[in-house]
Amino acid sequence: MNLCQFRYSDDNLGYLIAGTRHAIAIDGGAVQEMLAFLDTHGLTLTAVTNTHTHPDHTSGNSALVQATGAALVEIPQLLQTGRLELEGATIEVHHTPGHSADSVVFHFDDVLIAGDTLFIGKPGRCFTGDPASFLKTIQWILTLPDNTRVYPGHDYVHEYVSDLAAIEPNNPEIARCLAAYDPGHVVSFLARERRLNPALRLNDPVVIDLLKARGLAHATEQERWISVLSLIHK
């Protein structure tokens, strides 16, 4: 399976997972670009789905379904089955509440389509008001291999990395992240995020010292998680 990334509405990122004959759209707001890609490559769109139901991610659903006849696979169905199938291959679907209650990520091979659960440099904002569930989500993501490619739901790279530079100016991973940045292919590796993203480094002495210096709670992992979220998402 191949993954193709599409930019729309300035910083939103949507995806086609493509086989040899069929494809699945995830957060398909780039409707015309996706349709053109399908036509050029002779692909039939079989399913349209989303990482979560915030309107900037679902905006292309109706147009893609109408243009192609693809099935709209809604998140309750994804959560029931836990997977999507494409030409005999399995795409795992994991419930990742935190940013939203219905957030999911898609995992196959070394690819993680993370939506707004995990960006480059930061996790998403905890709009659910349920940081405990969000921490469990992040803990699961950290079980994945270092070579996992993280594909986010938005390109916030410059904004978020600039924020991190103000918080942790001596982290060498910040410069490496900016050097690797390609606006035409926005991706990180979990290995890089483990060194860059404070929310993935809750037990790192550097992060603990950072919280101590700011007078933020740090005694437990849960306290550090809440403190880091308050620090990076002011």
Cβ neighbours for 117, distance < 8 A, ≥ 6 positions apart: 51, 96, 98, 99, 103, 105, 123, 124, 137, 141
Kindly report the pTM of this predicted structure. Answer: 0.95
Domain that holds residue 225: 2-233
d(CA 203, CA 67): 49
- Residue 145 pLDDT: 97
- Residue 234 pLDDT: 77
Domain count, the chain: 1
- Residue 129 pLDDT: 87
Q: Which of 93, 149, 99 is nearest to 127 (CA)?
A: 99
Q: Which of 28, 31, 1, 2 is nearest to 15 (CA)?
A: 28
Tens of each residue's pLDDT in the chain, 234 residues: 999 999 999 999 999 999 999 999 999 999 999 999 999 999 999 999 999 999 999 999 999 999 999 999 999 999 999 999 999 999 999 999 999 999 999 999 999 999 999 999 999 999 998 999 999 999 999 999 999 999 999 999 999 999 999 999 999 999 999 999 999 999 999 999 999 999 999 999 999 999 999 999 999 999 999 999 999 997
- Residue 220 pLDDT: 96
Helix, coil or strand: residue 204: coil
Domain containing residue 188: CATH number: 3.60.15.10
Helix, coil or strand: residue 39: helix
